[in-house]
Amino acid sequence: MSGRERPRGRLPEGRVRTLFEVDRPDRVLATGGVLLVILTYLAVLDRIVVVADGSGSVPVLAALSLAGGTVLARLVRPRWALVCFLALVAVGTQQYVASLPATVALGENLGPFVGDTVSLLTGMSILRIINADIWALTLTPAPTVFAWYLAVRRRYVAGAAVAGSTLGLLVLTGDAGATTSLLGAVGVAAAAGFGTVEATPTAVDASRRSVLVGLGGAVVGASVLDVVPSERAGVGGDGLGGFGGDATTTEANLLADSESLQIQGSISLSPTVRFRIESERVGYWRALSFDRYSGRGWIRTGETEPYDGTTAPPPGPAERVRQEVTLAGQLGRLPALWKPVEVDVPASVDAYQDGSLAPTRSLREDESYTVTSARSEATPADLRSAPEQYPDSIEQRYLALPGDFPSRVADRTADIVGDAATAYDVANRVEAWLEANRDYSLDVDRPGGDIADQFLFEMDAGYCTYFATTMVAMLRTQDIPARFTVGYTPGERVGESSWVVRGFDAHAWVEVYFPGYGWQQFDPTPAGPRRLNEQQRLEQARLSDEDNVDTNETGPGEWSPTPTPTATPETTVSSGDRTATAIPQRSGVAPPGLSESDPTTPTPTPGGAAGSVTSEQAALAVVALAGGVAALRLAGIDELAYRAVWLRYQPRNSPLEDVERAYARAEYALEARTRTRRPDETVRQYAAAVGDEPFQRLARLYERAMYAETASESDADDAVELAAVVVGS
């Protein structure tokens, strides 16, 4: 092999070494663009793994993948790199398929794998997959190795396409937020723009246009990401059937999405009547639960299955209770006492893995359904004697916390529960402590860190999502399975066995698992202040004559079982394993967050106090500004602005420099009006061909100064004056 030959498939000597040389900023910026896209999707995958598994495996795997891509770029031709990429995809797929529950044969695994893939492509969050951590880890190596390989080989656009496609998948699933998506788009644009600097002017213009299109699309796309509806599995669209009112109400926040729930800042109440329910027993009308905690909200994992006509009752003693529900508007849920075992619905029904049921379409106004529930009759003594050996499936789903969950929550919880001997006593103490030590308020700022940690240590007040989230997290630190549950409180009693439920009755509470007895209800939110807020809001709605806040059975007075004024002032409500109390209306007391002199409900801004700017909005503004500056730069706007100033204003330096710049200004202006000077054309010949007398005089001054390498002050003055005449003519 001669000295000029090199092994086939290898890069030229020094190509990898010179990748980051500062004398080629175009290559550095193009490579940085590809790296930016890679880092954006890696950040999303890392968060998925942290939430689902608690580990920090993605950074290590990403570093190895980047190193592997660099080595491959030095040793392997593109065709073999593609083979390596496909091999990594195959290995990752095999690892994920092997992790699925059905392990008898590949065919049994293939169905769930294909189903997950289709669901992800149609908008399902990766965090809804029970083994989301394995999915994210198996996705990391292949695109990272191949995209970085292409970047090192200086195939910037191809590398950005591979990385951008991976990020695009995460955008489709909803796991990549607006800021992340915009950062990725800026990276793609940088790779496309700076990666073609060495090309022809036509190619450069084309690349600039692609950059502008990419940045514009990124800004527009980021602005609409939050309004594009994601999949609402099992509810036929919006869980409230489009009847939930403003998105900042408690009802919309808790029940509009069956997949996830993001905890908000200040929030409002909807007094709209939702449904009427007939039942011999009363309690919380449960809709569904969420199991995976992200630190900022909740995700429901697992898919739905068609309801086959019945579900298993809870273990232990239970009473069968029949309920008939008539809707006052559209609703995509089936609120009922826990646990529903039989339903009769004028629509097909899906079953969630947590035992909840939901119609596949929103039920309409005046439609009715009936539910038979098996209502647990476990006593406190039963629950104290329950064993603390939990099934593996329960521990896996209902003990998980994010990997970066603050350890001080566990320490504080241990101090609060003290010497509690059973899981039931631990849950009771946590419930009582939160109820007694945190105030109820709808007017709160959404904290910047982990919700449970901030509510426990930094906040004085919150509403039901804060109380329930914190209690679930606290119990999980003590190895007690718990989950976040949403639905409606009993509502307004209008008959012996009749209740009218409004939007502000939407509520979040906690369910704790007890072996032998199943899921039992706990509610750490202070009931009195919550009911007072609701009553105040109802009074406002009646005074304002708002629509759909009353039926012919409801009104300012309360239903009483007897016509005498000596009725019991409180209504006992069984909540499954304990007895709770429904607080009656009391007038003359302003609930927290509302003033007696000003009964209007504040209009909140999602994610924080009214008028505040969230950290994501601020980051999005910064990135959008940076993208706009980059777009102007690549479009040549900065050059045009500089040339406009340079052409009309000449600061004075040395006489020789003044003459040189004066001629350059005049020639630039004349070229725009006539033609460019040919390479074989002298300054004097060009001036004679296209210029008038002032430009010809300036050309002679310039030519003499360049040959003599000096100029006088008077020559410089004349040159600047002549240039001004040519530019202005």
pLDDT above 70: residue 418: yes
Q: Is residue 238 part of a domain?
A: no
534 CB-contact burial (10 Å; exposed 0-12 / middle 13-18 / buried 19+): buried
> CB-based contacts of 323: which residues, under 8 Å, 6+ apart?
277, 278, 279, 336, 337, 370, 371, 372, 373
645 burial (CB, 10 Å; 0-12 / 13-18 / 19+) is exposed
Residues 461 and 525 in one domain: yes
User: Quick one: pLDDT at residue 636?
Assistant: 60
Q: Assess if residue 394 is contained within a domain.
A: yes
Residue 472 lies in a domain: yes
| Same domain membership, residue 346 and residue 284 | yes
Q: Is the pLDDT of residue 346 over 90?
A: yes
pLDDT band at 575 (very low <50, low <70, confident <90, very high): very low
Cβ atoms 65, 145 nearer than 8 A: yes
HEC per residue, 546-605? CCCCCCCCCCCCCCCCCCCCCCCCCEEEECCCCEEEECCCCCCCCCCCCCCCCCCCCCCE
Residues 455 and 343 in one domain: yes
Question: Which of 190-199, 537-546, 584-593 ranks highest by mean pLDDT?
Answer: 537-546
Does 632 map to a domain? Answer: no
Burial class (CB in 10 A: 0-12, 13-18, 19+), 279: buried
Q: In terms of pLDDT, which residue wins out, 122 or 137?
A: 137
What strands lie across the sheet with 349-351, from one edge to the other?
305-306, 349-351, 357-359
Domain containing residue 181? 25-227
Q: Residues 563, 518: one domain?
A: yes
Question: Do the Cβ atoms of 491 and 426 come closer than 8 Å?
Answer: no
Indicate the residue among 170, 195, 227 that finishes a domain.
227
The answer to whether position 2 is within a domain reads no
Residue-wise pLDDT for 608-618, tens only, equals 333 444 555 55
- Could you tell me if 423 and 467 lie in one domain? yes
* 573 and 686 part of one domain: no
Which of 193, 47, 216 lies closest to 132, judged by CA?
47
Q: Which of 227, 259, 282 is the last residue of a domain?
A: 227
* Residue 393 forms part of a structural domain: yes
- pLDDT, greater one: 147 or 246: 147
Residue 75 confidence (pLDDT): 87
Weakest-pLDDT range from 296-305, 376-385, 576-585, 620-629: 576-585
In the predicted structure, residue 129 carries a pLDDT above the cut 60: yes
Query: Residues 512, 423: contact at Cβ < 8 Å?
Result: yes
Bridge partners (DSSP) listed for residue 298 = 261, 293
| One domain for residues 318 and 186 | no
- Report the domain count for the chain: 3
Q: Which of 193, 227, 261 is the last residue of a domain?
A: 227
Are 48 and 184 contained in the same domain?
A: yes
pLDDT of amino acid 177? 76
Shared domain check, 299 and 407:
yes
In-domain check, residue 82: yes
User: Any idea of the CA torsion for 484, 488, 493, 499, to the nearest 10 degrees?
Assistant: -130
CA–CA separation, 314 and 337 (whole Å): 12
Do 306 and 210 share a structural domain?
Answer: no
Question: Are 220 and 310 members of one domain?
Answer: no
Q: What is the mean pLDDT of residues 223-234?
A: 39
Q: In this structure, is residue 9 part of a structural domain?
A: no
pLDDT tens digits for 55-100?
668 888 888 888 888 888 888 888 888 888 888 878 777 676 666 6
Same domain? 538 vs 443? yes
